[in-house]
Structure 1
């Protein structure tokens, strides 16, 4: 996640009378410009967006320190700046033209409109391509990072390099793609690559933890829903590769406030995503799945010596190697799993595994080792039943 908050200070000093009218403009690159028009009576202050695009919107909290000036507004002063045209803030009038005067301005800015009202009729697209099945590894009110102002955020567990697509039409407000490191360390909180897209209603979509150089859109570009915008990664404050997605707007304290959203999924046109469930784009003419697991998500995987999964879909093993019977459920539940393992042409009694899946997990598996014994050379057969229903039979060869 990227937390935008800029603190910019502009200082101006004035002594005695203003002898002539003049205009100065001081800008922070990419964000806001303060315009001061000075005359013998004082200073007129206006503010505009640095970016001249008509769709740009920033929320600004402005402060002023004044000596020998007066004004009719109270500070801090809140203003939403939309488009390129300057907004008049106030005129600071000199109280005593015979005395020295001093003023300074400071502001904080966050993209978006704190007065925006999210269009709840919008169904967002899943932020990846139609070929991807992605599990929500952390959902709303997640215990790791999705709490407080970030409670309505979603983490999709997808590999590094997975194409990321816009979930909703909008305007590219900001991007970052220079970072390469990721890890569960506080010093990496501000080092995630990201894309921020402003929507028509003034809210913002944040796509975070992208790979280095994984942004393919530019600031100022309008993107359509479903358009390729970048590639997922593992940068910033993260426990592993995933895509963080949220819709948010700023509040009056210039903090991010995330907004609950619904998505078009294989189940519904308006689906609220749940933690540990797997989602993909709906397909025309294809009914919602009536099963909790797909055949392709029952696999035999190769393990290394530390019993870490290194490759799935294997059909050849060596004596002494480890393997995993892997089951990735679309949605978690109390599933009874039965696995029978036998060797063709051998008179061994089949090995039987029988257990009940944990309700809060969508992944289940059992690790096994192939003994370094020639009698285990042959074609192995693995039959998988779930809740008494035969789901899949897998085969693999074991060689000496």
Structure 2
């Protein structure tokens, strides 16, 4: 889930008559500056972007409380501020110059243009390097967090520290990199690290749950599609390490409205991503028709709590736990058979046999190596899928 980026700015004061023109400017962090020009007739109000980049756009919702002022504006008043030039709002005229007056302005700001129209001809790059293959662990209309305004969001299951690359060209609009904690708790909803990039059509790309200090671009940078921008993490409201990606724009309530997008993948130049499917950048040498690649059948080491720590292991000790892990390119009801034996031992091979579940990101079976010297030796794991032998793995067990 992304961080809500609206900001409240309240300015209120009372005054009497002005003998001469007085110009003040109040800025709210990196977002919006309020310019007030006061004279004996009243207050002229303008708004500008704090960021001087000519491509930066913010949507602003303005409210005002006025005593002894008159205006033709109806509040709330909506305005889109583009680039560094101030946008004139209005002049609030004093009704009775013999009396004191009061005004208070409140603002809500969200990056982007609520009037923007997404360029549907754009095909996005996958937001990670060409060497990475990643599974969509939560897709569009996902049951965990991808519903309502966030329905068209995608979560890629990648480890902490995985390079994140820009999916589309644009300007860095906002970043956050100070947080370190992640978990499935409501108090962490606003504590995800992120990068928001504004596209040429006024929409925004959001890359969220980055690692602490995992942002390598700065505000106002122009980035190209495919450029390294940061590193994935597990910060904010999350059930585990992943990269959250979405394209959105604000609506008139300053809420995020996500937009469906297509990507360049191994299958197509305009691919709609599906939950539990694995994706990678188009490249030769990988069979796109197979349900599982040989490299995605692995032996993984487990903690005592049966948490996966690392895969590709070839050496274990008595008493340790391991996982036979299979990550399918696309989900299905494949039948999986695993035979486990020890070379030179007369034991009957252990047989595992099950049918893959369509709603799982990966398939696997946990096993414990008994703390018994007779299990020392070279172990052999034979894996078949739908009756076809896919891979034979070996690892050594030592005392």
User: What TM bracket, shorter-length normalisation?
Assistant: over 0.9
2:14/2:100 contact within 8 Å kept: no
Q: For 1:227-238, list aligned pairs within 5 A.
A: 227-238=227-238
Residue of structure 1 equivalent to 2:129: 129
Q: For 1:110-189, list aligned pairs within 5 A.
A: 110-189=110-189
- The separation in 1 between residues aligned to 2:302 and 2:246, in whole angstroms, is 35
1:124: how far off? 0.9
1:301: how far off? 2.1
CA 1:320–1:77 in structure 2 vs 1: closer, same or farther (change >3 Å)? Answer: closer
1:331/1:362 contact within 8 Å kept: no
CA 1:373–1:96 in structure 2 vs 1: closer, same or farther (change >3 Å)? Answer: closer
Which whole-Å deviations, capped at 9, do the CAs of 1:229-266 have from their partners, x for residues lacking one?
11111111222111111111111011111111111111
1:267/1:288 contact within 8 Å kept: no
List gaps (5 residues or longer) in structure 2.
none
1:154: how far off? 1.3
Residue of structure 2 equivalent to 1:9: 10
CA 1:374–1:44 in structure 2 vs 1: closer, same or farther (change >3 Å)? Answer: closer
Which deviates further from its counterpart, 90-99 or 387-396?
Answer: 90-99
1:43: how far off? 2.1
How much is the aligned-residue C-alpha RMSD, in angstroms?
A: 1.8
Q: For 1:209-358, list aligned pairs within 5 A.
A: 209-283=209-283, 285-286=284-285, 289-358=288-357
- The separation in 2 between residues aligned to 1:379 and 1:30, in whole angstroms, is 60
The SS at the match of 2:63 is strand
Which whole-Å deviations, capped at 9, do the CAs of 1:114-154 have from their partners, x for residues lacking one?
11111111111111111111111211122222121111111
CA 1:181–1:377 in structure 2 vs 1: closer, same or farther (change >3 Å)? Answer: closer
- The separation in 2 between residues aligned to 1:124 and 1:64, in whole angstroms, is 41
List gaps (5 residues or longer) in structure 1.
none
Residue of structure 2 equivalent to 1:390: 389
CA 1:43–1:333 in structure 2 vs 1: closer, same or farther (change >3 Å)? Answer: same
Which whole-Å deviations, capped at 9, do the CAs of 1:160-179 have from their partners, x for residues lacking one?
11111111111011111111
2:137/2:361 contact within 8 Å kept: no
1:333/1:361 contact within 8 Å kept: no
The SS at the match of 1:187 is helix
- The separation in 2 between residues aligned to 1:310 and 1:25, in whole angstroms, is 53
- The separation in 1 between residues aligned to 2:81 and 2:11, in whole angstroms, is 18
The SS at the match of 1:323 is strand
Residue of structure 1 equivalent to 2:58: 58
Which whole-Å deviations, capped at 9, do the CAs of 1:16-50 have from their partners, x for residues lacking one?
x4333332222223111222223333222211111
- The separation in 2 between residues aligned to 1:312 and 1:51, in whole angstroms, is 45
1:374: how far off? 4.4
CA 1:178–1:306 in structure 2 vs 1: closer, same or farther (change >3 Å)? Answer: closer
The SS at the match of 2:173 is strand
CA 1:20–1:354 in structure 2 vs 1: closer, same or farther (change >3 Å)? Answer: same
- The separation in 2 between residues aligned to 1:374 and 1:11, in whole angstroms, is 78
CA 1:393–1:68 in structure 2 vs 1: closer, same or farther (change >3 Å)? Answer: same
Q: TM-score, normalising length from structure 1? A: 0.94
- The separation in 1 between residues aligned to 2:54 and 2:139, in whole angstroms, is 35
2:303/2:309 contact within 8 Å kept: yes
- The separation in 1 between residues aligned to 2:279 and 2:376, in whole angstroms, is 39
Which deviates further from its counterpart, 258-267 or 372-381?
Answer: 372-381
CA 1:70–1:331 in structure 2 vs 1: closer, same or farther (change >3 Å)? Answer: same
The SS at the match of 1:305 is coil
1:139/1:273 contact within 8 Å kept: yes
- The separation in 1 between residues aligned to 2:105 and 2:55, in whole angstroms, is 26
Which whole-Å deviations, capped at 9, do the CAs of 1:166-218 have from their partners, x for residues lacking one?
11111011111111112222222111111111111111111111111111111
> How many matched pairs?
398
Residue of structure 1 equivalent to 2:206: 206
- The separation in 1 between residues aligned to 2:327 and 2:367, in whole angstroms, is 18
- The separation in 1 between residues aligned to 2:339 and 2:255, in whole angstroms, is 54
Which deviates further from its counterpart, 259-268 or 343-352?
Answer: 343-352
